[in-house]
Structure 1
């Protein structure tokens, strides 16, 4: 992705006008000194794209009606929600496909952004605190005092260059270095606004310690603004990035990776813990070494199971979510139509489902619950893609209702006739079929 941004030219659709195309291309000039806007905001305003009658003062005062008003079907339609609610990137890039092995032609997995955006709550918390002094800009001395009193910054320092590892709406992930030992770690910095969820994530991550294929938790700090979760630094990249950069990828290698992932998932399930968001983005290698361990990360959606009590909150990533979880979404919508909040994006099929009712208890909860076997479905989707380079159920879009999505997944007959499956053994195909099996009348794993 980084190479494409630096070297490739953007692909502009033919239906866009010449003026609009010129405006976009000048904004995307790679040399910042030549880029439109380098001479200031007036440089942007003068572009013909805005015409000669644009009243900028009226726009600033919000006196100009919006040219586009989002269309919504009903109060439950969240197709126009901002990206901060999705936490996820696009899985199918509209841009030019990068040159790569034919195994992954037509499938472009995009990692999370590593930009520290201004709308990130971690940044906003710090900014709001420093603004209490009525300074137009944060006072460096005040910022120094704030950092000096933080137990995290007393023990660690953030690495500036290429130190960003990822971000969410309420968190960022950075490289950090222990001041005493100089050892490097990854730190997830989470806003205290999410304190309840953060403590749950920490508790469940601690519960999973001791397995070679689950990220190691080092220690946790909290100050007046943030919680700092220090974990081992995984430098080998995501699962599919590793596969795509190899000269070849065999069924044997897929088998070895899947064996480790199944072992880790079994370890979690034996501790009554369900991950609920297994996907390529959450599978990282410990180092660039060919024999590096693969690790499961991000326990933000994980859940500690109560015995004989099904889980009822639908969450996960659309393309990797089991049918029974999607069916729970349908039941939630029907049962909690007045108290349901959702998270989705119309731009991507890799949509986070986070439907949380005002209460998680219901007398009929067993009718739409699910169990830890939803993690096995996610592994099946991952294995299917590893072996074929194709994503099953990729035609699903977020414009469809939960019922339509469930119907698509449960009725779709996966094809194993494409050339990509020619050299895949019957045993591997049977494993994929077994993992992607959904028994409509039985929500529990057998």
Structure 2
């Protein structure tokens, strides 16, 4: 495994130097183990997360005792694509690493199992929220965006678009201050060199609902703009309406690029940061900044000269913790809704809905919504994939 990771790192180096033929696979051979995962790992019932295509369970390596994450996917062409693309980029900068792959039968179904490094540091925004009184600065946002950009840069050089870059998919390796931020969940990733551009819209409508245009790598750039915006102020640029997967008003605001930099949250943020966001949130994908331009932008490439301006982000995220949870639930709902033609979905009219941003400003109570918990399968019922 270590040898394969070294090969992957070497491959990434050759790509960064521009020496690799983009048509030549520069990644290790996809290898599935067919003996049962429980021979190598103790699988628990603890659910670490729910990905697009499957759940993630806690597990422990029997040889080393290392805590890992086990993603369980039903063996489908879509799951095979996810595994293939994630495997190719595993070992790249700021990308969650795959340790082992298995083909097993679980509860009578053929499954693909991905054993990954366990990201014990939790989600990006949860970490910022937990800072308390410690100042969160514009320079730190620059450093975080450089890390996320490094992951996207690696993917795009490999002709892969992630298409689901969102807060929940950005996790820290540990709870330590020097932890590494990494991108995970390749459930919607696609190769971009098979066609000139992706034929289907990016299925994160919270970030991308620009209509029938063809999305490719520019989808990820749009997501970078939204995440950067939230990091700098604590709330997103575009809001849907609570309880509704996606509203006509929100679609229109995104299509027209209607967002603001309201005070007091944005009063002290540098003009360079605002201009960078504007370049990322261009409504025309062809006008949007590329990852190369993003990584070469002085605000990203020269973090040490970005001002140490304290931001409102931590306070806003803490004060409106329940609102943030609602926004995340809304985003998850929007993901499901966009799998069908959203024009055919009956959606509550904008005028009769609640706008979370306005409610937050007015400090009105938000309507609640229970999210159903998903039970873990546990570590039993595994059979080898013969």
Q: For 1:284-295, list aligned pairs within 5 A.
A: 284-295=171-182
2:229 paired residue number: 384
Cross-structure match for 2:190? 303
Match for residue 266 of structure 2 among 407, 411, 421: 421
| Alignment counterpart, residue 189 of structure 1, candidates 55, 60, 72 | 72
Using a 3 Å threshold, how does the CA distance of structure 1 residues 441 and 214 change in structure 2: closer, same or farther?
Answer: closer
- DSSP-derived class of the 2:100 partner: strand
Corresponding residue SS for 1:438: coil
Pair 1:258 & 2:139 matched: no
Gapped regions of structure 2 (runs ≥ 5): 1-33, 294-386
In the TM superposition, 1:183-262 aligns within 5 A as 183-192=66-75, 195-224=76-105, 225=109, 226-246=111-131, 247-262=134-149
Tell me, yes or no, if the aligned pair for 1:238 and 1:281 is still in contact at 8 Å: yes
Closer, same or farther: CA 385–398 of 1 in aligned 2, 3 Å: same
What residue is the counterpart of 1:398 in the other structure?
Answer: 245
- 1:292-324 deviations in whole A, cap 9, x for unaligned? 110000000000112662212124222222x4x
Structure having the higher Rg: 1
Distance 2:103 2:94 in 1: 27
SS at match of 1:419: coil
Q: Is the CA contact (8 Å cut-off) linking 2:172 and 2:179 kept in structure 1?
A: yes
Bigger RCO (CA 8 Å, 6+ sep): 2
Q: Residue 239 of structure 2 contacts residue 250 of structure 2 at CA under 8 Å; is this kept in 1?
A: no
Give ranges in structure 1 of 5+ residues lacking alignment.
Answer: 1-148, 329-367
Aligned length: 250
1:313 paired with 2:200, answer yes
Distance 1:260 1:167, change over 3 A: closer
Q: Is the 8 A contact 2:101 2:115 kept in 1?
A: yes
Give CA-to-partner distance per residue, 1:98-154, whole Å, 9 cap, x none: xxxxxxxxxxxxxxxxxxxxxxxxxxxxxxxxxxxxxxxxxxxxxxxxxxx952111
Instruction: State TM-score, norm by structure 2.
Output: 0.60
Whole-angstrom CA distance in 2 between matches of 1:371 and 1:288 = 34
Is the contact between residue 217 and residue 231 of structure 1 (CA under 8 Å) also seen in structure 2? yes
Contact 1:410 1:438 in 2 (8 A): yes
Distance 2:152 2:229 in 1: 17
Q: Please give the alpha-carbon distance, in whole angstroms, between the structure 1 residues aligned to 2:112 and 2:240.
A: 39
Residues 62-101 of structure 1 aligned to structure 2 (within 5 Å): none
1:182 shift after superposition: 1.5
Task: For residue 406 of structure 1, report the CA deviation from its aligned partner.
Answer: 4.2
1:439 aligns with 2:284: yes
Cα deviation, residue 248, structure 1: 2.3
Which of residues 201, 211, 219 in structure 2 aligns to 1:327?
211
CA 1:201 to 1:432, structure 2 compared with 1: closer, same or farther past 3 Å? Answer: same
* Counterpart residue number, 2:301: none
1:155 pairs with 36, 40, 45, which one? 40
> What aligned pairs does 1:57-136 form with structure 2 within 5 A after superposition?
none
What's the C-alpha RMSD, in Å, of the aligned pairs?
2.3
**TM-score normalised by structure 1 residue count:** 0.52
Give the CA deviation at 1:264. Answer: 1.0
SS of residue matched to 1:159: strand
TM-superposed deviation, 1:398: 3.5
